[in-house]
Amino acid sequence: MTTPGSRRPHLVERAFQAMGGTPRSLDAAIPEASDTALAARPGAEPAPTGSTTTLAPPPRPAMAAGAPPTGGPADRVAAAADKPAVTPPTFEVMQRAGLVNLPGGAIRTRLAEEFSVVHHQLLRTIRTMDAPTEGSGRGRRVVLITSARPGEGKSFCSLNLAVSIAHGRSAQVLLVDADGKRGSLSELLGLGEAPGLRVLASDPLQSPASLLVSTEQRNLSILPYGAPVPGQPAVPPGTTVAAAVQRLAAMLPQHVIIVDAPPCLSTSDPSSLAPVVGQVLVVVQAEKTQRAEVEAALDMVEACPVLQLMLNQARQNSSDTFGSYGAYGGYGVYGTYGPKPESSG
């Protein structure tokens, strides 16, 4: 029987072996990439032979004209909906926010190819997961992306994975900004004042449809973090955010939902979200994040049955996979995927 206390070291040890790290820290640069395989579990598909996962750093009744908000859910939502029309993010805007490559471009960059490998691994994991038990509240098509500390590249990875999946036409994709910090995806995409997740979290009767923002990328929509809701906490409790994500998963059963969450060691939100998602990706910054921080982050999200690690800003050289597809050099993201070991008894 695998005890809870033994799970985290087991996953981290496998990550060290795949990343070529040391048993004490994650502060060593990776000079060369090594093959990455999806860890074995019943029914899981192995990663393609020789593949390497390397990466870089809904409507409500309107208020009567002139009626002041009373603080009730309907009034709060109506007040938020009075904001100016939202401009869908273009590819140019998404590039400024960190999109590494224009879909369909003439040059297939290394990073674009590497994100493609990762997104296929995510989809394979979704396909091989058992359907959730009725009433369990877990969305197997929901992917939570977080990190141990701020500044490790989780929002960068969230955006690029969402665009990669949508461009591959593998599924409809919804990118949810659940981290409202300064410089968040919502702000970078020009959606900082649009109504979004905070409205959905404040009112269980609010339909998500009117809050989703389309993008120039076909099959991709965004749910911004949203402007503050009058009479509600500036930062919604993690439990209400988790409930909002559950409603999204129930109303959009064919969508892959990518949730960009706050860092594990900064807020308790990832811990609240972990029980309702199908898999968690913890982004780890190369040469910065320590092993103790990674283990603490994994501890925060251990309620999710599938935990995975991605190493961001790993040093690479010209002999790495996909090197001939673009002029990118220097840094990338290296992924180590490993479903959390399950108890045998």
- pLDDT of 122: 92
DSSP annotation of 79 reads H
- pLDDT (average), residues 21-46: 35
Q: For residue 63, is it within any domain?
A: no
Q: Which residue range is the domain that position 147 belongs to?
A: 4-57+73-336
- pLDDT of 258: 97
pLDDT digits (tens, 9 = 90+) for 40-69: 233 333 333 333 333 433 333 333 333 333
Rounded Cα–Cα distance for residues 293 and 9 (Å) = 12
Largest CA distance in the chain: 65
Rounded Cα–Cα distance for residues 333 and 287 (Å) = 12
Domain count, the chain: 1
- Does position 286 have pLDDT exceeding 60, yes or no? yes
**CB of 198 within 8 A of CB of 236?**
yes
- pLDDT of 331: 40
Q: For residue 14, is it within any domain?
A: yes
- With bands split at pLDDT 50, 70 and 90, how would you rate the model's confidence at 84? low
- pLDDT of 95: 92
- pLDDT (average), residues 277-296: 92
Q: For residue 343, is it within any domain?
A: no
List the CATH number of the domain containing 329: 3.40.50.300
**CB of 170 within 8 A of CB of 161?**
no
Averaged pLDDT score across all residues of the chain? 74
Following DSSP, what letter does each residue of 197-220 receive, concatenated? HHHHHH-TT--GGGG-EE-SSTTE
Q: Which residues contact 237 (CB under 8 A, 6 or more apart)?
A: 272
- pLDDT of 40: 28
- Beta-bridged to residue 160, according to DSSP, are none
- pLDDT of 187: 93
- Does position 315 have pLDDT exceeding 60, yes or no? yes
Q: For residue 241, is it within any domain?
A: yes
User: What's the token pair of residue 271?
Assistant: 């811990």
Q: For residue 312, is it within any domain?
A: yes
SS3 for 86-147 is CCCCCHHHHHHCCCCCCCCCCCCCHHHHHHHHHHHHHHHHHHHCCCCCCCCCCEEEEEEEEE
- pLDDT (average), residues 276-302: 93
Percent with pLDDT over 90 in the chain: 43
The more confidently predicted of residues 163 and 105 is: 163
Range from 50-64, 91-105, 296-310 carrying the lowest mean pLDDT: 50-64
- pLDDT of 328: 33
Question: To which residue do tokens 């296929």 refer?
Answer: 120
Q: How far is CA 71 from CA 78, 90, 232, in A?
A: 11, 35, 9
Three-state secondary-structure class, residue 191:
coil
pLDDT digits (tens, 9 = 90+) for 180-217: 888 899 999 999 889 999 999 999 888 888 899 999 99
- pLDDT of 287: 82
pLDDT digits (tens, 9 = 90+) for 100-144: 877 766 667 788 888 888 888 899 999 888 665 454 567 889 999
- With bands split at pLDDT 50, 70 and 90, how would you rate the model's confidence at 311? confident
Q: For residue 20, is it within any domain?
A: yes
- Does position 318 have pLDDT exceeding 70, yes or no? no
- Does position 242 have pLDDT exceeding 90, yes or no? yes
- pLDDT of 114: 82
**CB of 223 within 8 A of CB of 211?**
yes
